[in-house]
Amino acid sequence: MDDTPSRIPAALPALRAQAEAAGFIMSSEDRTGALLAALAAARPSGRILELGTGAGEGTTWLLSGMDHGSRLTSVELDPAVQTFAREQLGADPRVTFVSGDGGTWLRDFDGPPFDLVFADTWPGKFTDLDRALALVAPGGTYLIDDLFPQPGWPEGHGASVGRLLAELDEREDFRCVRLAWASGLLMAVRTS
């Protein structure tokens, strides 16, 4: 079986070209994107959170799976890189882009929980994990990727990934599945 996605979002080639021109190498790969789209499609009128917009490649995959009633909030620390996403996707009324630190946003947010949280940066994954998990609705999904070694990992990051996986596995309020596929993913679903 070839697992290369056959349907890609319309904005993806332009976003990828802008990311490559800017030397941004942290975008999600297409297999992860296809999973994001499928998880978003599973949540009609869903509330979706992306931590770490990057250049917007994950954002456009999420939007491609969302129905008209779904809403996506995407948070990014670096306004320069998020500009690509704002330019290509900002006219879509389903998405709200936030420029700022994801940890601050997580701690300040006091709205309703999310049906899908794609935690694709440090806050919500290696810091503020409890806060991100608290924002997952019952039956909702928390997804992380880049669990296989990636270019640019800081020294000792492998041990941090090991601790994160162990902590998630120990959570009694989530059911976890590890996906040794694409960049290495973990999906956790809130049970209570």
Would you tell me which residues interact with ligand SAM (CB under 6 A)? 26-28, 50, 52-54, 57-58, 75-78, 81, 101-103, 120-123
Which residue, 130 or 173, has its beta carbon nearer to ligand SAM? Answer: 130
Q: How far apart are CA 30 and CA 7, in angstroms?
A: 10
Shortest Å, Cβ 144 to ligand SAM: 10
Task: Please name every residue paired with 76 in a beta bridge, in sequence order, or none if there are none.
Answer: 99
Rounded CA separation 41/51 (Å): 19
Beta carbon nearer to ligand SAM, 19 or 188: 19
CB of 59 to ligand SAM, least distance (A): 7
Q: How far is the CB of 32 from ligand SAM (least distance, A)?
A: 7
CB of 48 to ligand SAM, least distance (A): 12
Which residue, 77 or 132, is less far from ligand SAM as judged by CB? 77
CA–CA distance, 167 with 156 (Å, rounded to integer): 17
Taken as a whole, the chain contains a residue count of 192
C-beta closer to ligand SAM: residue 56 or 172 = 56
Q: Of 78 and 173, which has the nearer Cβ to ligand SAM?
A: 78
Compute the distance between CA of residue 12 and CA of residue 30 in angstroms, rounded to an integer.
Answer: 10
Enumerate the H helices of the chain as residue ranges.
12-21, 30-41, 57-65, 79-89, 102-108, 129-134, 157-170
CB-based contact 66:48 (threshold 8 Å): yes
Nearest approach, Cβ of 191 to ligand SAM (angstroms)?
26
CB of 71 to ligand SAM, least distance (A): 17
46 DSSP assignment: -
Q: Which residue is nearest to ligand SAM (CB)?
A: 58
Contact at 8 Å (CB) between 145 and 120?
yes
Nearer to ligand SAM, 77 or 89 (CB): 77
Kindly state the tokens that stand for 104.
């601050």
